[in-house]
Amino acid sequence: MINAIARTSHAEPTEEAFPSRGRVGMVCLIATEAALFAIFVVAYLFYIGKSFIGPYPAQVLEVPILPTICLLASSATIMLAERALSHGYGMRFKGWWFLTILLGVEFLRATAVEWYRLIFTHHLTISTNLFGTTFYSLVGFHALHVTVGLTLLTLVLILSVCGYVTQAQNERVAALSLYWHFVDVVWIVVFLVVYVIGR
Amino acid sequence: MAFAESPLAQPQAETPRLPLLVQLHDWVVTVDHKRLGIMYICTGLLFFAVAGLEASIMRWQLAFPNHDVVSPAVFNRLFTMHGTTMVFLVGMPLILGLANYLIPLMIGARDLAFPRLNAFGFWLSLFGGALLYFSYLGGEGLTGAGTAPDVGWFAYAPLTERAFSRGHSTDYWILSLLVGGIGSVATSINIVTTVVCMRCQGMTLARMPLFVWMLLVVAGMILLIMPPLTAAQIMLLLDRYLGARFFDTQAGGSALLWQHFFWIFGHPEVYVLMLPGFAAASEIIPVFSRKPMFGYAAMVGATLAIAFIGMGVWAHHMFTVGMSTMANTFFAASTMLIAVPTGIKIFNWLATMYGGKIRFATPMLFCTGFLFQFLCAGLTGIMLAAPPFDWQLSDSYFVVAHFHYVLIGGLLFTIFAAIYYWFPKATGKMLSETLGQWHFWLLVIGFNLTFGPQHIAGILGMPRRIYTYAPGRGWELWNLLSSVGVAFQALAVLCFVWNVIRALRQGPPAGDDPWDAWTLEWTTTSPPPEYNFETLPEVQSRRPLWDLKHPHDPDWHHE
């Protein structure tokens, strides 16, 4: 029946500018993921130094400087890709985007090498002691998020090679890059907790 | 009448009904927020019947001392399934269903922000619930130990570790809650995005119905509190399947850590369940008092305060595990502090009723009952917030009585109020007032008869979760009264079921706005079309329908 409520004389601010749905949805997802990581971080901090048997962090952990630089740099490259897309430079977008993926893959490769070394040289597994339990779950959970991010980034790359990613998809790409930035920020926290405080 | 008989009106009235299979298929593939909302609510009510049945068996077992209806093992499964079901499969679907159905209508939108994600969230919740109940069949496991989960709804470690919980029953508990939790988070993301991005013209935050405000806060809370439970459950799964040591006390793991993680989720969850009850009351009480809500801004502020303080009270569930005096003091103080915003709300509802022209229709009856019973729940809550009192009565029937006054006397009553209030909108049919009154009074009597005496049994020392008790401790009378109350509650629920069936078959047509209400959902038809509004509305005040009905004295003159 009544669908429009009659306009009246006194002026109202019309046409409110709402943020894009994708971005708001992604911010919500990031908030909930941050809470998830917070619990794993708390568990890690709580169990520092509580392992009954070795190997202990100081004996086996090496600070992964290069992978960290790669991951943090990928935040910059994805920003450049995003900017290129918003200006309509398709090739430049693809280039930066591809570089972002490469940096992410390099980070994962380094993690794989580190885990291989820990498992086969130092015999540290998830069930060895509390250090192993908390280390593999926290770092592994982050690596899982990097993997999900890389899958999505690759999907966008394939779509853009096929010509589907244009300036019109700017907001969607921005939502995805927001997620990638989040994964990077989480790594800063994980890095501090595992390799600085926990060692 | 002559108009209704005109040939033009005929074809619409006689639209041929689609075959049953097509109709069912439509419900399965739907992404419409109204259909999903209804399916959420039906899921909640279905599981409510199941969990109610479990409770009835437990009450029958406890009606007499040394009663032997079920074995201790079955009793453990019953209270675990009852608690888990009521919180995760009754409470959550009911509140998310109301949010789903009402929020787009109330803010003048055509659907939620992500309709497919919404359907995904619902089906996850439903199958999560199915998974929990499948444990009765599949929980046997290779070792042949156990069927349904029997570790209690908060599943304290290390009882849930592989060494103490053989078979797969605990795994079903973990996985079903994990799946359902992801569904709730998906729907919450949807709700927040919808409210932030899709309000109609003129619907500023300060003009949103209080219902939408409170559900926005609830969705925000779910985003922050579901992950701690999910994280803890992932840790438990790692313990059980990969031999991790999170809660393995022999390797230095901490059972206390599980308690913290669980209650960081568990206590705010109570507010997640209660705030939608407050939300419904805040819509219903003004309409049936014929007054605008008293203290709108204070209500919003109190909601935010409850959410904020509610995140910092969890360890009051853990006074008896031996925390430091500092921690005890902090959590006692924060718990008592939460009485302030809750008190503000109760006074605001009372002030709305004060001097109003109150109509005691069924929704209003349920809201009034809620006010009294929720006050009782709040008072016992403050008592339990004092650590010395809690040391005496923790894990006793006093606690059982307290939280049932919160969740039944508070939440369930407002949910029924909401169903009576919005049923005409969702179906186009009116529920019977007579049956509604029967439903209300039987439930008031049954509920208070069941849970009132449990306070006394608790003070007399009866612990919760015991499957039987010896005579001569002074518990017999209170337990018998408690069990008799169940019969009244069951009758009340039967009245409700009969009322719904009767209304769907032969209820009088409701019209668009049967309660002479003020919010946007009453501007569209009952039931609303799939697109909700032909043209999106534009609002000027908190009560757009009042403005429309009283053009000489619109609300925006006063706000």
pLDDT (tens digit per residue) in A123-136: 999 999 999 999 99
d(C-alpha B462, C-alpha B390), whole Å: 14
Whether A66 shows a pLDDT value over 90: the answer reads yes
The reply to whether A196 touches chain B by the CB within 8 Å rule is no
Q: In chain A, what residues touch B227 (CB-CB under 8 Å)?
A: 32-33, 35-36, 38-39
The reply to whether A119 touches chain B by the CB within 8 Å rule is no
Q: How far is A42 from chain B (nearest CA, A)?
A: 10
Return the pLDDT at B3.
39
The reply to whether B114 touches chain A by the CB within 8 Å rule is yes
Q: How far is A71 from chain B (nearest CA, A)?
A: 24
Q: How far is B207 from chain A (nearest CA, A)?
A: 13
Give percent of chain A above pLDDT 90.
Answer: 83
The reply to whether B244 touches chain A by the CB within 8 Å rule is yes
The reply to whether A11 touches chain B by the CB within 8 Å rule is no
Q: Please answer yes or no on whether A33 and B227 come within 8 Å at the CB atom.
A: yes
Q: Please answer yes or no on whether A25 and B193 come within 8 Å at the CB atom.
A: yes
d(C-alpha B170, C-alpha B192), whole Å: 33
Q: How many A×B Cβ pairs under 8 Å? A: 140
Q: Please answer yes or no on whether A36 and B230 come within 8 Å at the CB atom.
A: yes
Amino acid code (one letter) for B146: G
Return the pLDDT at B142.
57
Q: Please answer yes or no on whether B551 and A46 come within 8 Å at the CB atom.
A: no
Amino acid code (one letter) for B311: M
d(C-alpha B205, C-alpha A160), whole Å: 39
- Which fold would CATH assign to domain A21-197? Four Helix Bundle (Hemerythrin (Met), subunit A) (1.20.120)
Q: Cite the DSSP H helix spans in B411-533.
A: 413-427, 433-459, 476-506
Instruction: Tell me the β-bridge partners of B201.
Output: B538
Of all residues in chain A, the one with the smallest CA distance to B533 is: A3
The reply to whether A43 touches chain B by the CB within 8 Å rule is yes
The mean pLDDT value for A109-135 works out to 96
The reply to whether B540 touches chain A by the CB within 8 Å rule is yes
Q: Is the dihedral of CA A135, A137, A140, A146 positive or negative?
A: negative
The mean pLDDT value for A23-47 works out to 96
d(C-alpha B442, C-alpha B436), whole Å: 10
- Cβ(A123)–Cβ(A115) under 8 Å? no
The half-sphere exposure of B456 on its side-chain side, counting CA atoms within 13 A, is: 15
- Calculate the dihedral angle through the C-alpha atoms of B379, B384, B386, B388, rounding to the nearest 10 degrees: 140
The reply to whether B467 touches chain A by the CB within 8 Å rule is no
The tokens describing B195, both together, are: 């409210």
Q: Please answer yes or no on whether A1 and B524 come within 8 Å at the CB atom.
A: yes
Of all residues in chain A, the one with the smallest CA distance to B534 is: A3
Cis peptide bond upstream of B527, omega within 30: yes
d(C-alpha B257, C-alpha B162), whole Å: 17
CB contacts under 8 A, B 186-205 vs A, are: 188-190, 192-193, 196-199, 201-202, 204
Return the pLDDT at A166.
86
What count of residues does chain A have?
199
Of all residues in chain B, the one with the smallest CA distance to A131 is: B245
Q: How far is B363 from chain A (nearest CA, A)?
A: 25
d(C-alpha B299, C-alpha B293), whole Å: 9
The reply to whether B535 touches chain A by the CB within 8 Å rule is yes
Q: How far is B296 from chain A (nearest CA, A)?
A: 21
Q: Enumerate domains of chain B plus CATH numbers.
A: 31-547 (1.20.210.10)
Three-state secondary structure call for residue B495? helix
Q: Please choose, from the candidates B547, B540, B439, B450, the residue with its C-alpha nearest in 3D space to the C-alpha of residue B494.
A: B439
Q: How far is A2 from chain B (nearest CA, A)?
A: 6
Q: Please choose, from the candidates B376, B412, B370, B383, the residue with its C-alpha nearest in 3D space to the C-alpha of residue B55.
A: B412
Q: Please answer yes or no on whether B548 and A47 come within 8 Å at the CB atom.
A: no
Return the pLDDT at B559.
77
The reply to whether A31 touches chain B by the CB within 8 Å rule is yes
∠ CA B221-A28-A90, nearest 5°, is 180
The reply to whether A10 touches chain B by the CB within 8 Å rule is yes
The reply to whether A28 touches chain B by the CB within 8 Å rule is yes
Q: In chain B, what residues touch A23 (CB-CB under 8 Å)?
A: none
Q: In chain B, what residues touch A38 (CB-CB under 8 Å)?
A: 227
d(C-alpha A3, C-alpha A20), whole Å: 26
Coarse DSSP helix, strand, coil percentages of chain B, rounded to the nearest 5 percent: 70, 0, 30
In terms of pLDDT, which residue wins out, B365 or A16? B365
Whether A10 shows a pLDDT value over 90: the answer reads no
Return the pLDDT at B145.
64
Three-state secondary structure call for residue B359? coil
pLDDT confidence bin for A13, thresholds 50/70/90 = very low
The reply to whether B226 touches chain A by the CB within 8 Å rule is yes
Q: Is B490 exposed, middle or buried (0-12, 13-18, 19+ CB in 10 A)?
A: middle
Q: How far is A183 from chain B (nearest CA, A)?
A: 16
ipTM: 0.92
Give the pLDDT of chain B (559 residues) as one tens digit per residue: 333 444 444 444 456 778 899 999 999 999 999 999 999 999 999 999 999 999 999 999 999 999 999 999 999 999 999 999 999 999 999 999 999 999 999 999 999 999 999 999 999 999 999 999 999 887 776 566 668 899 999 999 999 998 888 888 899 999 999 999 999 999 999 999 999 999 999 999 999 999 999 999 999 999 999 999 999 999 999 999 999 999 999 999 999 999 999 999 999 999 999 999 999 999 999 999 999 999 999 999 999 999 999 999 999 999 999 899 999 999 999 999 999 999 999 999 999 999 999 999 999 999 999 999 999 999 999 999 999 999 999 999 999 999 999 999 999 999 999 999 999 999 999 999 999 999 999 999 999 999 999 999 999 999 999 999 999 999 999 999 999 999 999 999 999 999 999 999 999 999 999 999 999 999 999 999 999 999 999 999 999 999 999 988 888 888 7
Q: Please answer yes or no on whether A28 and B192 come within 8 Å at the CB atom.
A: yes
The reply to whether B31 touches chain A by the CB within 8 Å rule is no
Q: In chain A, what residues touch B199 (CB-CB under 8 Å)?
A: 16, 18
Of all residues in chain A, the one with the smallest CA distance to B519 is: A5
Residue among A21, A51, A132 whose CB faces B193 most closely: A21
Strand ranges, E, within chain A: none
Q: Is the dihedral of CA B259, B261, B262, B265 positive or negative?
A: positive
Return the pLDDT at A169.
87
The reply to whether B489 touches chain A by the CB within 8 Å rule is no
Residue among B190, B261, B548 whose CB faces A39 most closely: B261
Three-state secondary structure call for residue A50? coil
Q: Please choose, from the candidates B89, B108, B105, B103, the residue with its C-alpha nearest in 3D space to the C-alpha of residue B41.
A: B89
For A49: left if phi > 0, alpha if psi spans -120 to 50, otherwise beta; the answer is left
Contacts 24+ apart (CB under 8 A), B529-534: B530/B32, B530/B34, B531/B110, B532/B34, B532/B104, B532/B105, B532/B109, B532/B110, B532/B111, B533/A3, B533/B108, B533/B110, B534/A3
∠ CA A69-A72-A77, nearest 5°, is 115
The reply to whether B224 touches chain A by the CB within 8 Å rule is yes
The tokens describing A36, both together, are: 């998830």
Every domain of chain A and the residues it spans: 21-197
Count Cβ atoms below 10 Å from residue B440 Cβ, excluding itself.
25
Give percent of chain A above pLDDT 70.
Answer: 92
- Cβ(B411)–Cβ(B377) under 8 Å? no
The reply to whether B228 touches chain A by the CB within 8 Å rule is yes
Q: Is the dihedral of CA B52, B55, B60, B63 positive or negative?
A: negative
d(C-alpha A132, C-alpha A57), whole Å: 9
Return the pLDDT at B141.
60
Q: How far is B186 from chain A (nearest CA, A)?
A: 8
